Structure formats: C-alpha cells, structure tokens
Amino acid sequence: MWILLVQQQHFKRELRDLETSNIQKGSSLMSLTPCLDNKGIMRVGGRLKRALLSVDEKHPTILPQDSKFSSLLIDHLHKKTLHGGVHLLLRTLRQRHWIPRGRNLIKSHIRQCVTCTPRRAAPSQQLMANLPRPRVTPSRPFQFTGVIYAGSIALKTSPGRGHKTTKAFLVIFIYMVTRAVHLDIASD
C-alpha cells in the first residue's frame, strides 16, 4: 500500500506509460525494464520469472531515491543489520526493493549515522617527541649507552650426556646516537 502511494507520487509518468504500453526511452528507469504486477506496483523486470525465488527476490519493487519512505526503509534496514556497512545494507535492501542510485543514498545515510561515526573515525597521528641530547650531539662511540639485561639462558659447558648447564644472562649495550647494538654474555 505504502509502496504504491510512493510510486504514484514520484513515478507518475512511468506508471502511466506502463499502463498504456512500454516506458519511454528517456526515462531513468529504462535500464531496469520495469513492469507492473497485478496490484499495480512497478517492479524490476528481468529473466528470473522461472527461478525458485520469492516474487520480491525475482522482481524487487522500484522505490525513488528522494522519498522519505526510502530513507525510513534504509534506516530500518540499517538498524536491522546492526549498523552493517554499505554492501550488507545494499544486499539486504535489494532482496525486496530496488532504489536507483541506492548505493549513494546508503553511503550518505551511513555517514549521518551517529552510531557508525566512531567506527569511521580516522586514527589520530601521534606527534613525535624531541630527540634526547645524546642522540643529536656528536660523540665517541658508546659514550652514551643504554644497558638491558635479558635471560636467563641455559648454557652447556661440555658436549655429551654428562654435560653441565649453567645460567647465563644476555647483556645488550645500545649506543644512543646511532642505535648500534653490542651483545655480551654475563654470568649470575
């Protein structure tokens, strides 16, 4: 009922042309090969008449892009799909309805959705801090160093079955100017 009223408001010429003969070539709906069903609702034509699908899937109803009904329908389906993206919403919509240039309408609706806005937010760019003085001052190698201990590492002192293992630690010396690394082993 609502669909028929919306079509009568927005597609007057196309409905009149379909009742008398075929749609005129200058119409924006020409590529959809529209046809009327037994209730007078304009649907997308096509080659799926013998498919084992519902009537809505074979021949979706044509809705105008600029109607309030289409916007409300997209809003309802957007919430029904749990704020899904453009592709999910377009696929769900096209199971029963066809909106010319519907992808653009869906994109603009998702851009205006308050719930979806945080998901689309661009990550902030971290500003790098100033380099410490040792990193920018010319100096002798390893004059400014950082030391990191890592471990413990089990070391074998002799090969074979009766070997003895000892604990060792890895010492990492980092030259702060060029980030050169020197590795060494330390005992406990």
Spell out the CATH class of 2-120.
Answer: mainly alpha
What is the pLDDT, as a whole number, of residue 143?
A: 83
Ordered by start, the domain boundaries in the chain are 2-120, 133-187
CA 154 remoteness from chain centre: 48
Q: What is the largest CA-CA distance in the chain?
A: 101
**Residue 79 confidence (pLDDT):** 95
Q: Kindly tell me the number of DSSP H helices and DSSP E strands found in the chain.
A: 8, 7
pLDDT tens profile 16-62: 888 887 777 777 788 888 888 888 889 898 888 888 988 888 899 99
- pLDDT for position 102: 92
Q: What percent of the chain has pLDDT over 70?
A: 99
- Alpha-carbon distance of 2 to 166, in angstroms, equals 83
Distance CA 63, CA 154 (A): 73
Q: Once rounded to an integer, what is the mean pLDDT over residues 139-144?
A: 81
Give the DSSP per-residue string, 20-51: HSPPPTT-TTGGG--EE-TTS-EE---S-TTS
pTM summary value: 0.63
Looking at residue 178, the DSSP 8-state letter turns out to be T
Mean pLDDT for the chain?
87
